[in-house]
Amino acid sequence: MSALEFTLVVWAVAAVAGFLGALTGLGGGVVVVPVLALVLGVDIKYAIGASLISVIATSSGAAAAYVKEGFSNIRIGMLLEIATTVGAVLGAYLAAFTSTHILAIVFGLVLLQSAWQSLASSEPDHGPAIQSDRLARFFRLGGDYPLLGKRQEYGVRNVPAGFGLMFGAGALSGLLGIGSGAVKVIAMDRAMKIPFKVSTTTSNFMIGVTAAASAGVYLSRGYIDPRVAMPVMLGVLAGAFLGTHVLVRARVRTLRIIFGVVVFALAIEMIVNGFLGKV
């Protein structure tokens, strides 16, 4: 494969990854890393470095559009990012003392359950707005988002549970070197009762922060190759731009199916890599 062909293939793969990342709030790494490492033969460390760049690109490209459209809840994102960052620091510290193989398998099993819940959900696209509980009202986390040509208000509940799940998401990210967008979406959607579109868009807003910190470490160690990272970044930006336009008009049930399928694939990847000792 020539350099031009390699670049075009990587760009196309990254565009698909950016599209899925913008729709699901997971970031593009779910698709980029396995394709680069398993199909194109890129060293796994360079694949992860390029993946981190793709997550930053997804967050930057998609989050800006979602904030402009009024979907992302910045107050929720800033609050929960505290837990994710602290968890990531702790996870990175514990990585030297913990078997990541077992953690990867357990994490994969949790994601399988989450994927099943997402695929089996029969929740309507919209329903009566819930009321925020006392802690959510204290932090003024409730908001509204565009729905059927008007602004639909929503409340937030179970902030401590969501905060704890975000801490776990950050810890898993630090331990396993993976993105934690799946856990972030699940925490906001399931635990905090935030509408699914707001959960995915707020996750897109958040994931770039953690990825930027990790990318700095990979850059200092020489694991970000511009020949790989550049087409990945450009492809992800193109895919994320398209994904933002699709999400605005998509039905929640369709988004849940896409989310469930992608998370299922991520779960299988984590379980297999855990058994094979590759994580």
Bigger pLDDT: 252 vs 80: 80
Q: What local confidence, expressed as pLDDT, does residue 178 receive? A: 63
In this predicted structure, the answer to whether residue 275 has a pLDDT above a threshold of 80 is: yes
In this predicted structure, the answer to whether residue 268 has a pLDDT above a threshold of 80 is: yes
Q: How far apart are CA 60 and CA 51, in angstroms?
A: 14
Q: What local confidence, expressed as pLDDT, does residue 77 receive? A: 92
In this predicted structure, the answer to whether residue 139 has a pLDDT above a threshold of 70 is: yes
Mean pLDDT of 210-218: 73
| Angle of CA points 39, 105, 254, to nearest 5° | 70
CB 91 within 8 A of CB 172: yes
Q: How far apart are CA 262 and CA 172, in angstroms?
A: 18
In this predicted structure, the answer to whether residue 158 has a pLDDT above a threshold of 90 is: yes
- Pair of tokens at residue 126: 């919209």
Strands 150-154 and 143-147, sheet pairing: antiparallel
Mean pLDDT of 209-223: 76
pLDDT band of residue 177 (cuts 50, 70, 90) is low
In this predicted structure, the answer to whether residue 176 has a pLDDT above a threshold of 70 is: no
CB 228 within 8 A of CB 173: no
Mean pLDDT of 38-61: 79
Half-sphere exposure of residue 221, counting CA atoms within 13 Å on the CB side?
10
- Pair of tokens at residue 103: 């953690």
Domain count, the chain: 1
Could you tell me which residues are beta bridge partners of residue 150? 147
Mean pLDDT of 158-174: 87
**Helix or strand (DSSP H, E) at 145:** strand 143-147
Half-sphere exposure of residue 216, counting CA atoms within 13 Å on the CB side?
5
Helices and strands of the chain, counted as H and E runs: 11, 2
Domain that holds residue 248: 3-276
Q: What is the mean pLDDT of the chain?
A: 82
Half-sphere exposure of residue 208, counting CA atoms within 13 Å on the CB side?
18
In this predicted structure, the answer to whether residue 130 has a pLDDT above a threshold of 60 is: yes
Bigger pLDDT: 121 vs 277: 277
Helix (H, G, I), strand (E, B), or coil: what is residue 195? coil
